[in-house]
Amino acid sequence: MNRRCHCSALLLLLLAVPRFEAVAQPGDRSRETDQAVVRALQFLASEQQGSGAWRANNRDAPSVTSLAIMAFLAVGHTPGDGPYGARIENGIRWVLDHQDDTGLFRHVAGSGPMYTHGICTLMLAEVSGMVRGDLALRVRQGLERAVRLILVAQAVPKGPRHLGGWRYQPGANDSDLSVTGWQLLALRAAKDIGCDVPAEAIELAVAYVRQCATPQGGFGYQPGHGTSPTRAGTGILCLEICGEHHADETMRAAEYLLRQPLRPNDSFFYYGVYYCTVGMFQVGDRHWETTRTQMANLLLPMQLPDGSWPNQGRESAYGRVYATAMSVLALAVEYRYLPIYQR
């Protein structure tokens, strides 16, 4: 399907029509979810700066800007079209303006630059093919430079426990699952649209993720570490989007998440909201149906009257735009507008 020919996002905005009425079950919250997403996008639109950026607690942030852009895309809005089209384009241009000569995207204090870089690269891969004119060329060039930096960072000599992954800095000689997750999503999305991503790079990253799997089910922050719901979701999504569908490590982690689902007091809650929901959507079947209900019951009561989700815990420094964008990406996964998350 042409990526610009999705059904009218404006119709969704105005009517908030349930997307999956044919499969709705008693207790299904599809209509509430649609309405929550519409309110969330209105909040995000109100928070965009005149420059095109979105902010993380009063600082313009390429990573948060990229997440906000992807939240609009996840609901079917496209650059240059409809009520949010100009906002999306302005955000894309601002992110591209904050890529340096090495291809790295600038980051704000509080997180390593490779977090920001992976998120921005993923966003560019998702909008490539949706943009037109001079912006299309800028996106493609920026994406290719960003991908090259990810590949160079992966190739830094590392020991066996860290081979194939990424860490906070491009020159780091160690790795962790959290940073690796964003780079792997970015590479997979870029490869899907024809960027030069060697198969070996994906294979090495998948091997690193598998090293992080725990015997009890789930994935550790690094090989040998214990799991958590957020880390379990990260590992699941990494393997699923790389074609390792229903791998043994994935299914053990999926069972772990059914036994120990994400809770609001979990560390890096919104990070977990995103990875657990999108990961379990890829797993499908009863794992997705259970997670779908759990996440709706968890997130919908938390939404504030202005459409945002609240700061909390260790993610408070990232602000309500971050929390809201991550929540939208989770709640809208069933809409299947973002190509990287389509089954």
Tell me which residue of 224, 334, 214, 343 sits closest to 282, measured CA to CA.
Answer: 343
pLDDT at 12 over 50: no
Q: How confident is the model at residue 216 (pLDDT cuts 50, 70, 90)?
A: confident
Q: What is the pLDDT of residue 109?
A: 61
Q: What average pLDDT does this structure show over 105-120?
A: 87
Return d(Cα 339, Cα 343) in angstroms, integer: 9
Q: What average pLDDT does this structure show over 319-323?
A: 97
| Domains, the chain, with CATH or none | 32-341 (1.50.10.20)
Sign for the CA dihedral angle at 288, 294, 298, 299 comes to positive
Q: What is the pLDDT of residue 7?
A: 35
Q: What average pLDDT does this structure show over 4-12?
A: 35
Q: What is the pLDDT of residues 124-182, one digit of tens each?
A: 999 999 999 999 999 999 999 999 999 999 999 999 999 999 999 999 999 999 999 99
Phi, psi of 55 (to 5 degrees): -115, 150
Q: What is the pLDDT of residues 276-311, one digit of tens each?
A: 999 999 999 999 999 999 999 999 999 999 999 999
Share of the chain above pLDDT 70, in %: 91
pLDDT at 195 over 80: yes
Q: What average pLDDT does this structure show over 171-195?
A: 97
> DSSP for 212-272?
TB-TTSSBBSSTTPPB-HHHHHHHHHHHHHTT-TT-HHHHHHHHHHHHS---TTSTTHHHH
Q: What is the pLDDT of residues 67-87, one digit of tens each?
A: 999 999 999 999 999 999 999
CB 86 within 8 A of CB 80: yes
Neighbours of 275 (CB within 10 A): 28
Read off the pTM: 0.92
Q: What is the pLDDT of residue 66?
A: 98
Q: What is the pLDDT of residue 110?
A: 61
